[in-house]
Amino acid sequence: MRVSSRSPHGLSRRSLLTLATAAVTATGPAASTAVAAPAAIGGERLARTKVQVSGATGLLGRLTARAWLLADWETGHVLAAYRAHQPLAPASTLKMLFADTVLRKFHRAERHTVTEAELADIPMGSSLVGIRPGTTYTVEQLWQGVFLRSGNDAVHVLAHMNGGVAKTVAEMQARAQDLQALDTHVVSPDGFDHPGQLSSAYDLTLIARHGLRNADFRGYCGTHAVDFPAGRSRTFQIQNTDRLLTGAWGLKAYHGLIGVKNGYTSDAGNTFTGAAVRGGRTLLATVLNPAAGSNAVYEETAALLDWGFGQGGSARPVGTLVEPLSEGGKKADADAPPVRQAAPAAAGPPGAAADTSPSAWRLLEGAGGTVALLAGGVWVLRRRRAAAAASGGRHRR
């Protein structure tokens, strides 16, 4: 598991300084040492390499992730963080930025017949939902393929509908700049491993916070299972691969979880941004590349959320998630003095000031999951086996 050694174009000076700092420190929380850190988006403490927490105790020391962050959705307060701005490969968590960029462009009932050309540029070894050329899908079904199965085939179809992969990548980068997610450098819309494709725990949490203000985004990331077209009027069931949402692979569904997105690639390891609601509070946690085990990213996310809903209730902010520039956010330049106060946020649960009713959010709050079995067609299985063989075991979801 590695981070590209290349310094990609578009990284801010703050990101490059953070990379330099990280290169001379140990990767584990216990081995970190205090170093002088540059000013960072959201507050200078978020650029430090040790665990940042104030006014609360009991934060688990056994977290092994290379970077993580816990924040309050409504206020934007960062309650605790570790290497929040360290640029790392994001895997499919980058699909949150893809959705935040493209989701509003097409009505969910719009229908689209997929062509061979739209599937031609999918990276070998990609996760697939099973899109078939010549089959007609609704936009809603394509987004279900993106969020539930992390299907790169669905991503590429939507990107082509949006004018092409290159145009979509440029728009995603522009969206990241507007959100002030300045650690993020987009190379592909699906999050697959590419040199220079980077994000951070801070940026992914920032992106998730904004995405959750949209009713469709919330609805898709909180969906447990749906029937998906297999062609010729047939369907098969797809289940959300977010194990904390559905309960799978030895994990219980996390009480109050409402999404958001998981991922895995060879470079990124396991990555996850999750959001949960309890007692009227919504917390966001991002965990990037824990030491070992496919369940570790979920277990460490659950531990952060548990702490946030418990002892973390008395935590004083160590930083803030800034607001988008296009929505009145103050530009948080990396060379400017650190931001110390959260920007105003809409009252109520996620999206209350956006395009949904409170009742729609309550349907998502606290939802448990029943494990649904995935039944794929022969075409999907053959394609996945061929992709896995060609990639030599390198894959993503």
- For residue 273, give the nearest of 212, 194, 195, 354 by alpha carbon: 212
The contacts of residue 20 (CB under 8 Å, 6+ apart) are none
CA–CA gap between residue 84 and residue 203 (Å, rounded): 8
Sign, CA torsion 120/173/322/338? positive
The Cα–Cα gap between 138 and 112 comes to 6
Distance in Å from the first CA to the final CA of the chain: 15
Strand locations in 266-373 (E): 269-278, 281-288, 319-320
DSSP state, residue 313: G
What is the structure's pLDDT at 61?
76
Choice among 4, 12, 15, 95 that is catalytic: 95
95 as an active site residue: the answer is yes
pLDDT score, position 332 = 82
Cα gap 49→19, rounded to integer Å:
11
Instruction: Give Cα 286 to chain centroid, integer Å.
Output: 8
Q: Would you call 21 helix, strand, or coil by DSSP?
A: helix
The active-site residue, picked from 150, 188, 199, 200, is 150
For the question of residue 92 being annotated catalytic, the response is: yes
Contact 188, 169 (CB under 8 A): yes
Predicted local distance difference test score (pLDDT) of residue 56: 93
**pTM: predicted TM-score of the whole model, two decimal places:** 0.78
pLDDT digits (tens, 9 = 90+) for 191-211: 999 999 999 999 999 999 999
Catalytic-labelled residue, pool 92, 127, 199, 200: 92
Place of tokens 């590209």: 4
Per residue in 272-316, pLDDT (tens digit) is: 999 999 999 999 999 999 998 889 999 999 999 999 999 999 999
Residue stretches of the chain with pLDDT short of 70: 1-39, 333-397
**Quick one: 227 exposed, middle or buried, by C-beta within 10 A (0-12, 13-18, 19+)?**
middle
Closest to 185 measured CA to CA, from 198, 168, 171, 169: 198
Task: Confirm whether 150 is a catalytic residue.
Answer: yes
Distance CA 98, CA 172 (A): 6
Residues shown for the chain:
397
Query: In Å, how far from its chain's centre is CA 342?
Result: 21
Burial of 186 (0-12, 13-18, 19+ CB in 10 A): buried
Q: What is the pLDDT of residue 379?
A: 36
